[in-house]
Structure 1
């Protein structure tokens, strides 16, 4: 874990994991509770957390992309991964671990 925190790409991998988990919690737990259970409390709690992680992910992706001199296609793939459920986990395995 310490080795991940010492590099930019390592920090991006941590943020990607947290962003991916927050998206899954929001989509598969919080939203169903809001609409099926008529309880919006979890969406109100998870929404800002996910939004913050989303913005951190975008900022760090662009920063790492510039630092690592990724092609525009690679940066685009990594950015698109954060809007697809399980996308950040896939992109971590296919792109970020190699960095």
Structure 2
């Protein structure tokens, strides 16, 4: 389960960055580009975001994280690059 959480944390971080980059590129372009690129990317990020939070709860129970650690992991999903930090700091030493 922890290995899956590590993978989802990295994918969620990349999807967040791709979503921001794509939004900045397509903001002044026509609406058809939004429908073809930005919407599917946003949907994928949304699914990864929800999966990240659910897996964080499962890993919290399995690893017995404190409430503070769990809240830090959850807030990290809202900040760009933070899921990469979480993966390195909190999941590096966990058994796979």
The normalised TM-score by structure 2 is: 0.89
Return the match for 1:24 from 17, 33, 38.
17
- Unaligned residue ranges in structure 1 (runs of 5+): 1-7
Number of aligned residue pairs: 91
Match for residue 89 of structure 2?
A: 94
* 2:80 alignment partner, SS class: coil
- Give yes or no for the alignment of 1:15 onto 2:12: no
Give the alignment's Cα RMSD to 1 decimal.
1.1
Match for residue 80 of structure 2?
A: 85
Flag as ranges the 4+ runs of structure 1 deviating above 3 A.
none
Show CA shifts across 1:10-66 (max 9, x none): 1100000000000000011x2113313333132111011000000000000000001
User: Could you say which structure has the greater relative contact order, defined with CA pairs below 8 angstroms and 6 or more residues apart?
Assistant: 2
